[in-house]
Chain A
Amino acid sequence: DIQMTQSPSTLSASVGDRVTITCRASQSINIWLAWYQQKPGKAPKLLISKASSLESGVPSRFSGSGSGTEFTLTISSLQPDDFATYYCQQYNSYSKTFGQGTKLEIK
């Protein structure tokens, strides 16, 4: 199975900061990488698919990049609503593995 490793596990930042989360795959997944946002007690929400395609309705301050085995999610200017946990997911294979998550906390 393809393993997904996110870093950091926790990120402390302030409103207005630019933050980047990294996701690495144990083997090449081309561009088949998604990013989700999850808030406590809620289902995950799809933000980005195909590594860099922003879903409809997602603010443009979110962006994704990468291919192969290294990917990043960047939030250009943090807003209060962005403090949540973020997960990457590969969907290159039938087993759609997730990264372990990055909790974005208010500094």
Chain B
Amino acid sequence: QVQLVESGGDVVQPGGSLRLSCAASGFTFSGYGMHWVRQAPGKGLEWVVFIRYDGSDKYYADSVKGRFNISRDNSNNTLSLQMNSLRAEDTAVYFCAKEGSSRQPFDFWGQGTLVTVSS
């Protein structure tokens, strides 16, 4: 069965950096686009970034452009999110999500990892 397991969430000071990972299993990771979505405490879902199945294209939300970098390692079935210049408003649970095939939305999600930006 499909599994997505995020890790790396932590408490970090404003201006700091953090790297999140998402370990994928149960499907052919190299065949699907992947996303990060975040949810601030008590708030709604915010799409953050997308990476194409082969890593050839990446698209970022304006709120994180220039600060966050998405990457993937298809040999190790791992998705990563490098977050730099973190701000208080980046505090959220970060979910990785798998795109479905043939122009489908997000059919599987991880359980999320909490990032807290605070001094």
Contact = CB atoms under 8 A, between A and B. Distances in A.
| A and B interact | yes
A96 B35 contact: yes
Interface of A: 1, 32, 34, 36, 38, 42-46, 49-50, 55, 87, 89, 91, 94-101
A44 B105 contact: no
Contacts of B112: 43
Contacts of B111: 42-43
Which 5 pairs across A and B sit closest by C-beta, in order of nearness?
Answer: A43-B109, A34-B105, A94-B59, A101-B44, A98-B45
Interface string B18-39: 0000000000000000010100
Interface string B80-108: 00000000000000010000100111110
B45 A87 contact: yes
B97 to A, nearest CB: 8
Interface residues of B, number: 21
A96 B109 contact: no
Given A43-B110, A43-B112, A96-B50, A91 B45 contact: no
Given A95-B47, A101-B44, A44 B109 contact: yes
Contact of A1 (B62, B95, B106, B110): B62
A55 B104 CA distance: 11
Contact of B47 (A38, A55, A96, A101): A96
B110 A49 contact: no
A100 B44 contact: yes
Contact of B46 (A36, A38, A46, A98): A98
Given A43-B110, A43-B111, A91 B105 contact: yes
A101 B91 CA distance: 19
